[in-house]
Amino acid sequence: MTKAPRAVLAATFAPGDTAVPAARRFTVEVMTAWAATSVLAVAEQLAGEIVAQAARAPFEVVWSHLEDGVQVEVRQKGVPGGVPTGPTVLVDEWGVTFSGEHHTHWARLPLPGSAERTAAEWSMEEPSRGPIWMGFLADASDLLAGTLDPDMVPAIISQIVVPRLAAWCAVYTWSGDGGPQRPAYLWHTDERRIDELREELATAQIPQAGGSMQLGDSQMLVIPLLARGRALGVMCLGRPDRFAEDVFQYAEDIGRRAALAMDNARLYATQAAANRALQRSLLPPNEPGEIPGLDPAVVYEPAGETNEVGGDFYDLFAAGDDSWRFAVGDVCGTGPEAAAVTGLARHTLRLLAREGYGVAAVLDRLNQAILDEGERARFLTLLHGEIKPVPNGLDVWMVSAGHPEALRLRPTGVVETVVTSQSLLGVFPEATFKAEVVHLDPGDVLLAVTDGVTERRQGGRLLDDNGGLAKLFAECVGLSARAVAERIRRAVQDFAPEPSADDMAIVVLRAR
Listed in sequence order, the residues at least 6 apart from 100 whose beta carbon sits closer than 8 Å to its beta carbon are none
Is the Cβ–Cβ distance between 201 and 183 less than 8 Å? yes
Which residue among 252, 277, 302 closes a domain? 277
User: Is the pLDDT at 400 greater than 80, yes or no?
Assistant: yes
Same domain for 378 and 493, yes or no, is yes
Query: Looking at 110, 141, 160, which one is the last position of a domain?
Result: 110
Report pLDDT for 130: 54
128: pLDDT strictly greater than 60: no
**pLDDT tens for residues 166-217?**
889 999 988 665 555 678 888 888 878 888 899 999 888 888 888 889 998 8
Question: Residue 246: CB partners within 8 Å, gap ≥ 6?
Answer: 126, 129
**CA dist., res. 417 & res. 421, Å (int):** 10
Residue-wise pLDDT for 410-433, tens only, equals 999 999 999 999 999 998 999 999
Q: Are 263 and 347 found together in one domain?
A: no
Residues 445 and 498 in one domain: yes
For 64-121, how does the pLDDT look when each residue is reduced to its tens digit (9 = 90+)?
Answer: 888 778 999 998 876 555 567 888 888 888 888 877 677 889 999 987 654 454 444 4
The tens digit of pLDDT for each residue in 457-512 reads 888 899 999 999 999 999 999 999 999 999 999 999 889 888 777 888 999 999 99
- Domain finish residue from 71, 94, 110: 110
Whether residue 80 is found in the same domain as residue 127? no
Where does residue 413 fall: left (phi above 0), alpha (psi -120 to 50 degrees), or beta otherwise?
Answer: left
Judge if 255 and 379 occupy the same domain: no
State the Cα–Cα distance between residues 330 and 398, nearest whole angstrom: 16
Looking at residues 283-312, what average pLDDT do you find? Answer: 75
Of 355, 272, 341, 354, the closest CA to residue 313 belongs to: 341
pLDDT class of 139 with cuts at 50, 70, 90? low
User: What is the torsional sign of CA 422, 424, 426, 429?
Assistant: negative
Closest of 74, 77, 79 to residue 107, by C-alpha: 74
Same domain, 381 and 408: yes
pLDDT at 121: 47
Name the least confident of 79-93, 165-179, 220-234, 440-454. Answer: 79-93
> Do 254 and 358 lie in a common domain?
no
CA proximity to 444, closest of 486, 403, 387: 387
- Indicate the pLDDT class of residue 4, thresholds 50, 70 and 90: low
Beta bridge partners of 220: 213, 238
DSSP conformation letters of 368-433: HHHHTTGGG---EEEEEEEEEEETTEEEEEEEEESPPPPEEE-TTS-EEE-S-EEPPBTT-TT---
Segment 434-445 shows an average pLDDT of 96
Where helices occur in 146-287 by DSSP H, the ranges are 153-161, 194-202, 245-281
Mean pLDDT of the chain: 84
Average pLDDT over residues 210-233: 89
Question: Is there a single domain that holds both residue 353 and residue 291?
Answer: yes
Strands (E), 319-379: 324-331
The secondary element (H helix, E strand) that includes residue 44 is helix 40-52
Can you tell me the distance from the alpha carbon of 308 to that of 418, in angstroms, rounded to the nearest whole number? Answer: 32
* Structural domains of the chain, count: 3
How many angstroms separate the CA atoms of 329 and 284, rounded?
Answer: 13
**pLDDT for res 447:** 97
Arithmetic mean of pLDDT, 34-43: 82
Taking the mean position of all CA atoms in its chain, how far away is CA 76? 22
- What's the chain's Rg over C-alpha atoms? 29
Domain containing 365 equals 286-511
Instruction: Please check the confidence at residue 122 and state whether its pLDDT lies above 50.
Output: no
Residue 87 sits in the same domain as residue 206:
no
For the chain, what percent of residues have pLDDT higher than 70?
85
Instruction: Summarize the confidence of residues 427-453 as an average pLDDT.
Output: 94
Longest pairwise C-alpha distance within the chain: 91
What residues form DSSP beta bridges with 185?
A: 171
pLDDT digits (tens, 9 = 90+) for 329-379: 998 876 667 777 888 888 899 999 989 999 999 999 999 999 888 776 688
CA distance 15 to 57: 5
Per cent of the chain over pLDDT 90 is 36
Any idea what the CATH number is for the domain that residue 78 is in? 3.30.565.10
